[in-house]
Amino acid sequence: MDFNFSLRRSVRTGVNADLPVEGLGVAADVNYRITRQDVLGQNEDLITFAGWVLSNYTR
């Protein structure tokens, strides 16, 4: 079984120095509910959905 993850460390500077970054979070623009096929397969539905979201993205 493979397991991948990402990690980013952020540090605030200037007037926001020493304020915690963790817990503030980022609001999601789009929500996705994982499917059985995603869990048992290789995220086929998620990839299809992500492609749809990106193809309909406007700036």
Residue 13 lies in a domain: no
Q: What would the DSSP string read from start to end of 20-51?
A: --TTT----SS-----HHHHHTTSHHHHHHHH
Q: Which of 30, 34, 58 is nearest to 46 (CA)?
A: 34
Can you tell me the distance from the alpha carbon of 3 to that of 54, in angstroms, rounded to the nearest whole number?
25
Residue 51 lies in a domain: yes
**What is the pLDDT at residue 3?**
64
Q: What is the pLDDT along the chain (59 residues), one digit of tens a residue?
A: 666 666 666 777 888 787 766 655 666 678 899 999 999 999 999 999 999 998 998 77
What is the extent of the structural domain holding 49?
Answer: 29-59
- The count of domains in the chain is 1
55 domain-assigned: yes
35: in domain: yes
Give a yes or no: residue 48 inside a domain.
Answer: yes
